[in-house]
Amino acid sequence: MSRVARLLAEARRALGGGAEAAGEAELLLARILQRDRSWLFAWPEAEVAPDDAARYRDWVARRAAGEPVAHILGERDFWTLRLQVNRHTLIPRPETEHLVEWALQRLPAEAPLRVIDLGTGSGAIALALAAERPAWRIFASDRSAAALAVARANAARLSLPVHLLQADWLAGIAGPFELIVSNPPYVAENDPHLARGDLPREPRSALAAGRNGLDAVRRILAQAPRRLTPGGWLLLEHGHDQAPACRALMEAAGLVEVASGRDLAGHWRFTHGRQPA
CB-based burial label for 110 (10 Å; 0-12, 13-18, 19+):
exposed
| Average pLDDT over every residue of 187-212 | 93
Q: What is the pLDDT of residues 11-30, one digit of tens each?
A: 999 999 999 999 999 999 99
pLDDT digit string, tens, across residues 260-276: 999 989 999 999 999 99
DSSP structure class, residue 103: H
Q: What's the pLDDT tens digit per position in 130-171?
A: 999 999 999 999 999 999 999 999 999 999 999 999 999 999
d(CA 107, CA 250): 20
pLDDT of residue 1 exceeding 90: no
Rounded Cα gap, residues 137 and 130, in angstroms: 8
Q: Which segments within 70-176 are labelled E, that is strand?
A: 75-78, 81-84, 114-118, 137-142, 162-166
Collect all residues with Cβ–Cβ distance below 8 Å to 92 and sequence separation of at least 6.
76, 78, 83, 85, 121, 122, 124
Nearest to 113 by CA among 23, 202, 176: 176
Q: What is the pLDDT of residue 78?
A: 97
Mean pLDDT of the chain: 96
Q: Tell me phi and psi for residue 258, to 5 degrees.
A: -75, 130
**Model pTM score:** 0.93
- Summarised one tens digit per residue, pLDDT across range 181-191 is 999 999 999 99
Q: Sketch out the chain's domains with CATH numbers.
A: 2-65 (1.10.8), 75-274 (3.40.50.150)
The predicted pLDDT at position 103 comes to 97
Q: Which parts of 35-157 are beta strand (E)?
A: 47-48, 75-78, 81-84, 114-118, 137-142
Q: What per-residue string of b and e applies to 49-63 under the rule 16 or more CB within 10 Å gives b?
A: eeebbeebeebbeeb
Q: What is the pLDDT of residues 73-131, one digit of tens each?
A: 999 999 999 999 999 999 999 999 999 999 999 999 999 999 999 999 999 999 999 99
Residue 156, class by beta-carbon neighbours within 10 Å (0-12 exposed, 13-18 middle, 19+ buried)? Answer: exposed
Cα–chain center distance at 160 = 17
Please give the Cα distance from 59 to 62 (Å, whole number): 5
Say which residues have a Cβ less than 8 Å from residue 234's Cβ, sequence separation at least 6. Answer: 179, 180, 181, 220, 221, 224, 225, 228, 250, 255, 272, 273, 274, 275
What is residue 267's three-state secondary structure?
coil
